[in-house]
Amino acid sequence: MTDRLTLQDPRKQYPQPPFPRQPQPVPGEAREMDPKPDHGEDSYRGSGKLKGRKALITGADSGIGRAAAIAYAREGADVALSYLPSERKDAAEVIALIEAEGRKAIDLPGDITDETWCREMVEHAVSQLGGLDILVINAGRQQYREDISQVTSEDFDKTLKTNLYAMHWIAQAAVPHLPAGASVITTASVQAYEPSAILLDYATTKAGIVAYTKALSKQLIEKGIRANVVAPGPFWTPLQSSGGQPEEAVMKFGEQVPLGRPGQPVEIAPVYVLLASQEGSYITGEVFGVTGGMGVA
């Protein structure tokens, strides 16, 4: 944890590589990472920017989704959390943090590669929150493969269903419930613009997320709803240590960017707050790169 309100050198504000070897089974747990990620548990301070809002966040148990959930609760929003049932321990921590802020936390474990569940999940969120005006589609699958010959049809199917199909199913189910002033936020990646050789299927989906969201934003603005994309660079999340990168790459994760370290999830949470809030009222159809200096094209 770091005091984020004190002036600091951003290169040294959080841990820098090398990191210990730390392989995990898919989907990975934040609690097992070394160093532990900062999702804002102690460091994010809210100021009421989302008071009374109602948010659904996928992949909310760890990583960027967890940081967004904590930030939203501290800004005054009630939050529905979508995550895989195997991630329940991490999710329980997030739920406790949301409830500690006096906000409602809706527990929605399930597999978003199932179309029926995606649609039911949205209905549960709307019913239990009493509406929906922030939709964060963030959950993702990333499994590296060294060569095209190793990317199986099963790999491609799982990655596209998690990262693209689920986005469509969830957005399609949610849009009828969103009022004017609502916000849709998707999570892409710098991989959409600078794809790694070992992430063929993942990079493909992230480029698709950018195109889909930009097209969707043109439809939704006719209803007074904004839609934007966040494109992170290397962030310290379980996605990396559970097969998203080779073990050696995890040990050096983030050293290639100008800041020389991976981002911590709390460092990207304010972007999700901005895009959800009325302070972002003139922002739609945009891609926000948060890349430690790598940039996006």
Three-state DSSP class for 262? coil
pLDDT at 6: 85
- Residues 208-264: pLDDT tens digits? 999 999 999 999 999 999 999 999 999 999 999 999 999 999 999 999 999 999 999
**How would you classify the pairing of strands 78-83 and 134-137?**
unpaired
191 token code pair: 């991989």
DSSP code string of 98-117 = HHHTT--EEEEE--TTSHHH
Other CB atoms within 10 Å distance of the CB of residue 107? 16
Distance CA 86, CA 282 (A): 39
Taking each helix axis as running N to C, give the angle between helix 63-74 and helix 88-100, from 0 to 180 degrees, rounded to the nearest 10: 20
pLDDT at 102: 98
pTM for the structure as a whole: 0.96
pLDDT of 1 higher than 70: no
pLDDT of 125 higher than 90: yes
Q: What CA dihedral angle connects 144, 267, 169 and 140, to 10 degrees?
A: 10
Domain boundaries in the chain? 48-290
Q: Which numeric CATH code is attached to 48-290?
A: 3.40.50.720
Catalytic residue list contains 165: no
What is the residue type of 125? A
pLDDT at 5: 72
Tell me the CA distances in angstroms from 181 to 64, 133, 241, 268, 277, one per residue in order. Answer: 23, 8, 37, 22, 9
- Residues 126-149: pLDDT tens digits? 999 999 999 999 999 999 999 999
- Residues 32-88: pLDDT tens digits? 999 999 999 999 999 999 999 999 999 999 999 999 999 999 999 999 999 999 999
- Residues 158-211: pLDDT tens digits? 999 999 999 999 999 999 999 999 999 999 999 999 999 999 999 999 999 999
pLDDT band at 297 (very low <50, low <70, confident <90, very high): low
Other CB atoms within 10 Å distance of the CB of residue 78? 24
Which residue in 44, 202, 212, 272 is the catalytic one? 202
